[in-house]
Structure 1
Amino acid sequence: MVLEFFRKQKYVTVKPEKEKRDIPEGLWVKCTRCSEILYIKELGKNYKVCQKCNFHFRVSAYERIDMTLDAGSFVEYDSQLVSGNPLQFPGYPEKLEKAMQTTGLKEAVVTGEGTIHGYPVVLAVMDANFIMGSMGSVVGEKITRAVEAAIEKKSPLIIFSTSGGARMQEGILSLMQMAKTTAALAKLDEAGLLYITVLTDPTTGGVTASFASLGDIIIAEPGALIGFTGPRVIEQTIKQKLPEGFQRAEFVRQHGFVDLIVSRNNMKQTLTNIISLHVAGGE
């Protein structure tokens, strides 16, 4: 009887590889945090937030603009500006060209104006897909011009930050953008205009140490990495294990660096509420 049982189980039918792959590629994605398999169209309808664990996938600058502004209201600024190679850094032009081809962007930030539920705003949105959202001369120039436009139009300014820091290929010229953007924002503050900054994953380096941290209201997306130096570098420097969740939005909020943590599907309404209060207070 035992031998007969094993004889019956000896052969297993295996389907050919082509028959097993009956789900077209590009329709599903695995959540980075919980490994849930998500249907891309449904994920898009949910603002690219995992329905199971609330993980916020990174989004492009234009996706962010579509999620934030009223449909058809966006008018882009300075789309013609592109980076040069002032320090003649080897391979930098090729890196820029590749980033342009991959993302369809000219630089790591898109700026312009539009409306949010009818309220006019000036907007700057960084894109991590373009050389990790690093800040070079053109990024600093475009953000500075956006600040100046907000002053001229007397409109609230909103900046969505995501960055790996200053762009090393531009050296000191990149670091100068920290002071440049900060000086422009000081003039915005003197004009009594509202500045909201939204920190998304990741916001680090010189961007964190300048315009990203200067908002009247500082908002973060859930789980966003926020800090100057990354946790691995800190641990290697101080030779200590960092606390669980260190530099994540929730940890940063608990320690007073961030005012609000807002999920992406509530972001537009939250921004509208803040702007409406500011407008009502100024009347």
Structure 2
Amino acid sequence: MDKGRFDWDNWDSLDNWDSDNEIFDFDVSDFFVFERELCERVINEVLRSLEEKIKIKQILDTLECQLYLDLDSYCNSENYSDVSNGSDDESDNDSSVCSENGDNDSSVWSESGDNDSDSSSPICSESGDSNQSESSSITTSTSEDNDINPTKNYSHLWVQCENCYGLNYKRLFMEKLYICEFCDFYLKMRSSDRIELSIDPGTWEPMDEDMVSLDPIEFHSDDEPYNDRIDSYQRETGLTEAVQTGIGEINGLPIAMAVMDFQFIGGSMGSVVGEKITRLIEYATNESLPLIIVCASGGARMQEGSLSLMQMAKISSASYNYQLIKKLFYVSILTSPTTGGVTASFGMLGDIIISEPNAYIAFAGKRVIEETLNQTLPDGSQEAEYLFHNGLLDLIVPRNPLKSVLSELFHIHGFFPLTQNEIK
């Protein structure tokens, strides 16, 4: 090793180096190179340690899930039945699994008036088919089909990205606000999760929860009747309709908010969606509250025909009174996808229009436009960045700072948090 040069590859041997025989002379540049490389190596060691801890946690959760499956298999076996002498009925193992995974849906059925006796069955089937009989259990040795679907059995542990198909560990995935850790793709969020992200804890007061859709034009299809489809989505999502409305607070500032849920029939806008949003705007007008509407929709709901198209005019009329007559402040947040009648009405009427990164925003689909105009649309022409560049959007805000951005916008426009005297 030459004098005056530092051998980084052999830096571990410095502990045994005799300083009396040789002295290293460092110039300033060598010292900073050494310091930078040392910091990089320390950071890499810390990151490697965190990755190992995450992997260990993932392995433990996987083993825990497998333990439940093995326990269920043992409890359903004949040996266990002989030893327990009929104690399976007392333990009621299946019911405990269902109660852990579906105890939040009972209020939905009582409020919507459709609390059928079989309303808990889809919840149980989503959590692993724990409510099935012994002969159909996926882990029973006497089962004819021993194939295990990993996506179904471990869906409570992993979420697959729609863009890169990478598997995201669910607990970390929720902490990252449903953003893929591999490609940074924004996956769809449930309306309840968006409310939890934006609204101060304990301040959300929902409105018009009991309002449900009927079948005004008696729409029937070969696949499934409209009323049955509504009931099916109510059981799957725990919602009564494709939008949640209510009032809450953002950093102490009272606001009125509507959040659409794409998982409920594609967030389509029917009579109930239009009525709930209209009532929310009228309430915000009377109380002089700022308004936020989070859009995620495929457009008007075809099963309700022209009645769903009427909601565009009804909401726009209420918005006119709110914005131009009362001079109040409305923020529209466009998420992926926002299309059809929602884009053509209240989605684009906001005083400030915000979008998430790479959100798909359009009126008609790319294929329909190309077939109509006989022209090829440029790539990305219906994405948020392209629309922002052409002036259709005001801001593109990631999910993490969205709450603080909304708070700053309200302060700029003269809305401030409630004082302690006003709260009392």
CA offsets per residue over residues 159-190 of structure 1, 9 Å max, x none?
00011111111111110000000000001011
Deviation at 1:31, TM superposition (A): 2.1
1:86 to 213, 216, 219: 216
Higher strand share: 1
Q: 1:149 and 2:283 equivalent?
A: yes
2:330 to 180, 192, 195: 195
* 1:222-241 matched pairs, under 5 angstroms: 222-241=357-376
Q: Which has the higher contact order (CA 8 A, sep 6+)?
A: 1
Paired residues for 1:76-155 under 5 Å: 76-90=206-220, 91-155=225-289
2:200 partner amino acid: D
**1:89: Cα distance to partner?**
0.8
Structure 1: runs of 5 or more not aligned? 1-16
Q: Is the 8 A contact 2:214 2:227 kept in 1?
A: yes
**The one of 174, 185, 190 aligned to 2:308:** 174
Structure 1 distance, partners of 2:415, 2:210, is 36
Cα offsets for 1:120-151 (capped at 9, x unmatched): 00000000011000001110000000001111
Q: Secondary structure at the match of 1:175?
A: helix
The one-letter code of the counterpart of 1:269 is: S
Alignment of 1:256-267 (within 5 A): 256-267=391-402
Name the CA distance, whole Å, in 2 between partners of 1:89 and 1:24.
Answer: 37
2:384 is aligned, of 233, 249, 253, to 249
Quick one: distance in 2 between partners of 1:280 and 1:48? 30
**SS of aligned partner of 2:185:** coil
Q: Classify the secondary structure of the residue corresponding to 1:265.
A: coil
Residue 242 (structure 1) shift:
1.3
Could you say what secondary structure the match of 2:178 adopts?
coil
CA contact (8 A) 2:293 2:333 kept: yes
User: Which stretch of structure 1 is more off in the superposition, 228-237 or 196-205?
Assistant: 228-237
Amino acid at match of 1:117: N
From the CA coordinates, give the structure whose radius of gyration is larger: 2
Q: Assess, with a 3 A threshold, how the Cα gap between structure 1 residues 52 and 272 changes in structure 2: closer, same or farther.
A: farther
Letter in 2 for 1:75: E
Letter in 2 for 1:110: Q
Pair 1:141–1:58, CA change in 2 (3 A): same
Task: Tell me the distance in 2 between the aligned counterparts of 1:200 and 1:222.
Answer: 8
Alignment map for 1:18-37 (pairs within 5 Å): 24-37=154-167
Contact 2:253–2:415 (CA under 8 A) maintained in structure 1:
no
Higher mean displacement: 261-270 or 51-60 = 51-60
Count residues with an aligned counterpart. 263
AA aligned to 1:121 is I
For residue 318 of structure 2, the aligned residue among 170, 184, 196 is 184
As a proportion of its length, which structure holds more helix?
A: 2
Counterpart of 1:88, as a letter, is E
Local SS of the residue matching 1:263: coil
Tell me what 2:8 maps to.
none
Deviates more, 1:271-280 or 1:61-70: 271-280
Counterpart selection for 1:48 from 169, 178, 203:
178
Q: Which runs of 5+ in 2 are unaligned?
A: 1-146, 417-424
